[in-house]
Structure 1
Amino acid sequence: MRLKDKVAVVTGANSGIGRAIADRFAEEGAIIAVVAMNQERIDSTVAEIKAAGGRAAGYRVDVSSQDEVKALMASVAEEFGRIDILINNAGITRYRPFDTTTGEDWDMVLNIDLKGVFFCAQAAAPYMRKQNYGRIVNISSAAGTGSTPGASAGSPGATAPYAAAKAAVNMLTKTLARELGPNGITVNAVAPGTFPTAISTSTRTPEELAAHLERRKQTLVLQRIGTLDEVATPVLFFASDDSSYVTGQTLCVDGGRFDRM
């Protein structure tokens, strides 16, 4: 087991990519701190991990609140004695054309997708520094590496706040890697392409989703949509000692996007 007895904080762990990461880490022996906002889904995620033979505890936290995040890390460290891994996965988006995006849209997306990443890393770092060991993995997005044609919402992009936040996460990954490296802490990012998650399904009808996925397949070298496990595996690499000499990197896991190569 690559993560045996490691304590892993996974934000947004109750669905989609975060849930896939939590399940995979539990299979690899990690103790999972399931962090999300929906208490019912937190409870079911923890119960299902335990039923499968894993170890987990749930925490209802708004990652855009610095105080709540600090309290989270203190609770995890108190309960399990350490924090080894942080997966910054919690994220939202608002698909709207640029000229109809509001200040509220902008703030809501950046508060979770960027500020939340910073707050979680900032709160986890002291515990990692004490043990001179840590793995931080930020879940970015292919949207943060270039413009995205034909996205949705009647606009070629429609993801201005989300793309801006994810591009900033890629740069934040580098700056945190430089600052935390001397303390034995690596910081990397995984930038997924299109996957069937709550973000992609909740804002589209089934017909719109099918059309969106078909358009995406035509832009991929592999010509297929990936599975959630195909995201969880690279995250596992960065969270394990297999990547002990890798830091400050953003890995695109997108099936080979033509417009990113």
Structure 2
Amino acid sequence: MRLKDKVAIITGGASGIGKATADAFAAEGAIIVIADINVTAIDAAVAQFRKKGVTATGHVCDVSNRDDAHRLMKSVDAEFGRIDILVNNAGISRYRAFAEATSDDWDPVLAVDLKGVFFCSQAVAPYMRARKSGRIVNISSALGTGAAPHNTAGSPGGSAAYASAKAGVIMLTTTLARELSPDGITVNCVAPGSFLTEFSSSTRTPQQVEDHLEYRRKHLLLRRVGTLDELASVILFFASDDSSYVTGQTLNVDGGRSDRI
């Protein structure tokens, strides 16, 4: 088991990519810490893991709040005596046509998707540094790599806030890898492409979701949408010793986006 008894914190871990990642980690023997803002979803996820005999706990955390991030790490370390893995997965989107976008569309996205990654990494670093070991995995997006959006919110610039935040995550990954590598901590990034999750429909109607996915399929070399298990397996790679000599890297898990290649 690649993560036996490793303590893994997964932000946004109660659903979607985060939950799939938690499932993959649990199957490899990890102790699961779900950090999320959805109390009901946290409770359901933790109950599910415990029913299977997995050691799991949940914490309500707003990753965009620096104090919340530091409280989370302090609580987890107090409970388990160590933090081995942090997956910075929590994210939101606010799509708006370029000409109509306001600070209400930009600020929350930058706060959660970029600032949250920084705050959680900053908060966990002392605990990992003390053990001279750790894995941080950041979740970016194909949109953060320069891949073209699908006329989001009726405008090619409709995903500007989200794309900008996710591009920032990629550069932040490189910066943090330089900062933390002397202490044996690796920092890597996964940039997912087209995956169907609750997040996919958070700002779209069912028809818009299907139109979006159909458009994506036409621009993927593999001609299909990925499964969450496929994505979680890559996150698991970066969280395990399989990637012990890899840091500062971003891996596109996107089925071959022809609009980026």
TM-score relative to the length of structure 1:
0.98
**Per-residue deviation, residues 173-198 of structure 1 (Å, max 9, x unmatched):** 00100110010000000000011112
Partner of 1:229: 229
Distance 2:105 2:80 in 1: 37
Distance 2:53 2:195 in 1: 27
Q: CA deviation at 1:151?
A: 3.8
Which 4+ residue blocks in structure 1 deviate beyond 3 angstroms?
none
**Contact kept in structure 1, 2:188 and 2:249, CA below 8 Å:** yes
Partner of 2:243: 243
Q: CA deviation at 1:53?
A: 2.5
Q: Give the AA of the match of 2:33.
A: A
**Per-residue deviation, residues 95-147 of structure 1 (Å, max 9, x unmatched):** 11111111121110000000000000000000000000000000000000004
**Contact kept in structure 2, 1:151 and 1:212, CA below 8 Å:** no
Q: CA deviation at 1:207?
A: 1.4
Describe how 1:197-208 pairs up with structure 2 within 5 A.
197-208=197-208
Query: Relative to structure 1, is the Cα distance of residues 26 and 42 closer, same or farther in structure 2, using a 3 angstrom cutoff?
Result: same
The SS at the match of 1:72 is helix
Query: Relative to structure 1, is the Cα distance of residues 149 and 114 closer, same or farther in structure 2, using a 3 angstrom cutoff?
Result: closer
Partner of 2:59: 59
Partner of 2:10: 10
Partner of 1:218: 218
Q: Give the AA of the match of 2:27.
A: E
Q: How many residues align?
A: 261
**Contact kept in structure 2, 1:37 and 1:61, CA below 8 Å:** yes
The SS at the match of 1:25 is helix
Q: Which segments of 5 or more consecutive residues in structure 2 lack a partner in the other structure?
A: none
The SS at the match of 1:260 is coil
Describe how 1:161-180 pairs up with structure 2 within 5 A.
161-180=161-180
Query: Relative to structure 1, is the Cα distance of residues 147 and 99 closer, same or farther in structure 2, using a 3 angstrom cutoff?
Result: farther
Partner of 1:111: 111
Partner of 2:152: 152
Identity %: 64
Distance 1:25 1:151 in 2: 35
1:260 equivalent in alignment to 2:260: yes
Q: Give the AA of the match of 2:136.
A: I
**Contact kept in structure 2, 1:147 and 1:157, CA below 8 Å:** no
Q: Which segments of 5 or more consecutive residues in structure 1 lack a partner in the other structure?
A: none
Distance 1:141 1:217 in 2: 16
TM-score relative to the length of structure 2:
0.98
- Over the aligned positions, Cα root-mean-square deviation in angstroms equals 0.9
Distance 2:47 2:147 in 1: 40
Q: CA deviation at 1:31?
A: 0.5
